[in-house]
A and B are shown apart, each in its own frame.
Chain A
Amino acid sequence: QSVLTQPPSVSGAPGQRVTISCTGSSANIGAGYDVHWYQQLPGTAPKVLIYGNSNRPSGVPDRFSGSKSGTSASLAITGLQAEDEADYYCQSYDSSLSGYVFGTGTKVTVL
């Protein structure tokens, strides 16, 4: 049972905007720990998409953006494309567990 909760799935038509929430608590996101987002394409290893709440590594399209507020974080994908179909995970640090935690994961489907 993860301490970071994400919706199991979100979907959208090509070109639309979708958002994925990551809800935590005062022991992790709310404590100020950074949130990172990973994209996992089918059959491949995860890849960091957003680090430090809102920063994109080089090579990640600016269609992807991250934000954080209070005990939650969000990943937004604008101009949704077929290649964005994947699983997405948030990740942070939890002080009550003294360790790193991943969100429950969200499957993005492009209609």
Chain B
Amino acid sequence: QVQLQESGPGLVKPSETLSLTCSVSGGSISSDYWSWIRQPAGKGLEWIGRIYTSGSTNYNPSLKSRVTMSVDTSKNQFSLKLSSVTAADTAVYYCARGPRPSGFGMDVWGQGTTVTVSS
């Protein structure tokens, strides 16, 4: 079955760019939708954005000016870049499959990776 694994620096300095990668195993990344979600400690889930394997993206309007998502089908990976980070961007970051227009929600999730923004 498809499994997801996030990777990237656990500590990012304020004003710098947060970069994370999600590796897809057990299946192909092609012809599907992939999302990033984050969760500050003790708080709720926030959808960051979604990418289709063609490269088409949808971003959360509140983060849109700072977010860039990309996909590398040759490596079966997709990535997140969040620029000009502040302490408010400290959170657990999850990658997930979906949502697809046909439904099913986000049906596969990575285990999450903690990113702390601090000097």
What size tier do the contact residues of chain A reach? 20 to 34
Chain A residue at minimal CB-CB distance from B107: A48
The answer to whether A99 and B104 touch across the interface, beta carbons within 8 angstroms, is: no
Known contacts A36-B99, A45-B112, A57-B107: A102-B44 contact under CB 8 Å: yes
**Total contacts A-B at CB 8 Å:** 69
A99 to B58, CA, bound (A): 7
| A1 → B minimal CB distance (Å) | 10
The answer to whether B45 and A36 touch across the interface, beta carbons within 8 angstroms, is: no
The answer to whether A99 and B59 touch across the interface, beta carbons within 8 angstroms, is: yes
List residues of chain B with CB within 8 A of the CB of A93: 99
B16 at the interface (CB under 8 A from A): no
Q: Convert B13-51 into 0s and 1s, putting 1 for each residue whose CB lies closer than 8 angstroms to a CB of A.
A: 000000000000000000000010100000011110110
B11 at the interface (CB under 8 A from A): no
Residue pairs across A and B with Cβ atoms less than 8 A apart, 19 shown, are A2-B44, A34-B105, A45-B94, A45-B110, A46-B106, A48-B104, A48-B105, A48-B106, A48-B107, A52-B104, A89-B44, A89-B45, A91-B45, A91-B105, A99-B58, A99-B59, A100-B50, A100-B99, A102-B44
User: A residues within 8 Å of B by Cβ?
Assistant: 2, 34, 36, 38, 40, 44-48, 51-52, 55, 57, 89, 91, 93, 97-105
Nearest 7 CB-CB pairs, A to B?
A36-B105, A52-B103, A45-B109, A105-B44, A102-B45, A51-B105, A100-B47
